[in-house]
């Protein structure tokens, strides 16, 4: 299975967010809020039930419920992230591995920074990041030199050649002539072997600078991505006379 096939498998699982006993305007607000996710938002009525709550389901199977206020309060709006203390947590736990659609570069960078920050704070394990092109990696050298400078954090960057390998010291560069690497943006942290720390962002560029994919903190999915990268791109190519590391 490829990274693209993994994304397609996630994309096939659409979820439904039903808004119960709320004004029609609330439903429209939630449709706008989740417009970039593979989630259908619909309105429902439950006689005698509480007002203003939502139920998340998949194939008519109940997943979780939450209060509408936790989803529409503007002060609680989030970028894609992995923080565990969010009031969105009951919903986000089940939107893990739900597709996002048409994210721009700004949104992708915001999600990537959260994973990079987790790897930095833990300070050990492996971080794998796909930059698509070497020229893009060149714009992130300061960040990745700093990450790679953590003594127990092993950092790997992947890109197709569109120029020279940027000068670097503290992390490994995998120069790959692969369509998968050219089309994929990913940041994957193995959690230093601790399941609770594992997280990943994986997306493909389907339109110019528009990305479709998902983020996850499911340890089995993270492990699969890391194993795929190790097994498929284990060899480090050289840049000029020097090794890529």
Could you tell me the residue ranges of all domains in the chain? Answer: 14-97, 101-243
**Residues 155, 146 contacting (CB under 8 angstroms):** no
Using alpha carbons, select from 145, 81, 147, 153 the residue that is nearest to residue 112: 81
CATH annotation of 14-97: 3.40.30
Residue 156 has pLDDT above 80, yes or no: yes
Residue 62's pLDDT band, with cuts at 50, 70 and 90, is: confident
Residue 94's pLDDT band, with cuts at 50, 70 and 90, is: low
Res 80: pLDDT: 37
Mean pLDDT, range 153-169, rounded to an integer:
96
Mean pLDDT of the chain: 84
Mean pLDDT, range 10-25, rounded to an integer:
86
Residues 6+ apart with CB under 8 A from 76: 70, 86, 87, 88
Q: What is the DSSP letter of 111?
A: H
**If residue 146 lies in a helix (H) or strand (E), which one and from where to where?**
helix 141-148
Res 4: pLDDT: 93
CB 182: neighbour CB atoms within 10 A?
Answer: 17
Tell me yes or no: is domain 101-243 CATH 3.30.870.10: yes
Res 93: pLDDT: 56
Do the domains spanning 14-97 and 101-243 agree at the CATH topology level?
no
């Amino acid at each position: 299975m490829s990274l693209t096939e993994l994304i397609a498998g996630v994309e096939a699982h659409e979820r439904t967010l039903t808004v119960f006993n709320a004004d029609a305007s609330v439903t429209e607000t939630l449709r706008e809020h989740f417009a970039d996710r593979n989630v259908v938002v619909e309105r429902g009525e439950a006689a005698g039930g509480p007002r203003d709550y939502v139920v998340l389901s998949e194939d008519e199977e109940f997943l979780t419920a939450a209060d509408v206020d936790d989803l529409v309060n503007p002060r609680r709006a989030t970028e894609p992230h992995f923080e565990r203390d969010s009031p969105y947590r009951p919903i986000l736990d089940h939107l893990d591995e739900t597709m996002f659609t048409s994210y721009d570069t700004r949104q992708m960078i915001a999600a990537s920074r959260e994973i990079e920050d987790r790897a930095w704070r833990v300070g050990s394990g492996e971080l794998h990041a796909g930059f698509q092109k070497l020229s893009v990696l060149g714009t992130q050298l300061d960040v990745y030199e700093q990450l790679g400078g953590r003594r127990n954090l092993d950092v790997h960057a992947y890109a197709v050649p569109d120029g020279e390998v940027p000068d670097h010291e503290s992390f490994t560069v995998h120069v790959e002539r692969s369509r998968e690497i050219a089309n994929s943006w990913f940041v994957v942290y193995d959690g230093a072997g601790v399941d609770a720390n594992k997280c990943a962002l994986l997306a493909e560029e389907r339109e110019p600078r528009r990305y479709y994919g998902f983020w996850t903190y499911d340890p089995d999915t993270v492990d699969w991505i890391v194993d795929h990268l190790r097994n498929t791109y284990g060899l480090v190519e050289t840049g000029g006379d020097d090794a890529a590391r």
